[in-house]
Chains A and B, each alone.
Chain A
């Protein structure tokens, strides 16, 4: 594994924008190399990958607490009003017997955000500790996190349609609550955190020692 021929080892840089392989040249201090084909700034790895990814991930973790403690929407009808958090919304669906929909929302709103936060933390820590543990599985994990992250927005879209749809005066009214905004912030922060992470660092950690 240690002698894998990577672009970096061969003295090449891959343009992150148009994929062209270019010969890396020493630069004067302060200068930024640009791709001759598409003009994008060149860098061997995503700049400040670990610091940016950690910062965004921590922001997501902070928002995750109010996102789950505060209600995401409130349903008001003649019999009084009822505010639902993410978890109580899922519980209500199970109680009403809507198992497939309940499972879907449970997966999108609870499983995916938690798995995403834990996976990114694991990836960041493993890279910082120069781990040799299952690099290929970690590479797959990263790609899965990147693909499924956006599906957590599901419940927020449901809230947005419900708010517009259920405006029936005295019969029933649905209003958004602050938890929804925090939950959307979690999704946005984790998407940016995943984009900032550079999966090539997983493999770099195993190479530099030789």
Chain B
């Protein structure tokens, strides 16, 4: 039997085809989902996400030129600007939501799925699973990407603005992270861990 996370109602588990979801008959919440390739798929995508995350942080994503001055912008320059402007608390929050949380989430996920894909249970697997799941709602790169779009439109009238390499890394990262959550399957992860014990 499985219990609904959102209303506690008991259900008999259904056999799902890959990509299918089961919803609770009482509250409509997602009961279970079947990933196409929960371990290897997540591993491959998490690796891609890690590479893109590094690139998105190294390359500037915007260049502004106004009256002969040119400035390039990375995520870190935004954080430093806030800190220098006296908004330290906000700087810390932005650093956490756009750099630290996505990085730790991906590293935590790799720590879980990389050994599991080779049939080996990493020490402290339960803590690592919880850790990276707790970070999912705090990794806000998708919101950040929308913010870039807003800035592009806002600044277009005032200065010459150009998207740089980092911006395309962002778009790719957004797509890859969306796929990571589509492949991630907590139930399959625990089934694998139990099978290894």
Contacts and interface: CB of A to CB of B under 8 A. Distances in A.
Do these two chains interact? yes
B140 A104 contact: no
Contact of B69 (A7, A162, A168): A168
Interface in A24-49: 37-40
Contacts of A175: 85-86
A62 to B, nearest CB: 16
Contacts of B78: 157, 160-161, 163-164
Q: Interface residue tally of chain B, by bracket?
A: 35 or more
B80 interface: yes
Given A139-B28, A168-B69, A161 B140 contact: no
Interface string B144-185: 101110110111011000000000000000000000000000
Q: Determine which residue in A6, A7, A157, A202 has the highest number of CB atoms from chain B within 10 A of its CB, and name it.
A: A157
Q: Determine which residue in A10, A12, A142, A167 has the highest number of CB atoms from chain B within 10 A of its CB, and name it.
A: A167
Given A157-B143, A176-B90, A14 B3 contact: yes
Interface residues of A, number: 68
A4 B71 contact: no
B93 A188 contact: yes
Task: Give the dominant DSSP class at A's interface.
Answer: helix
A177 B90 CA distance: 10
A98 B126 contact: no
Interface in A137-157: 139-140, 142-143, 146, 150-151, 153-157
Interface in B64-78: 64, 66-67, 69, 71, 73, 77-78
Interface of B: 1-3, 5-10, 26-29, 62, 64, 66-67, 69, 71, 73, 77-82, 85-87, 89-91, 93-94, 97-98, 126-127, 129-130, 137-138, 140, 143-144, 146-148, 150-151, 153-155, 157-158, 186-187, 190, 193-194
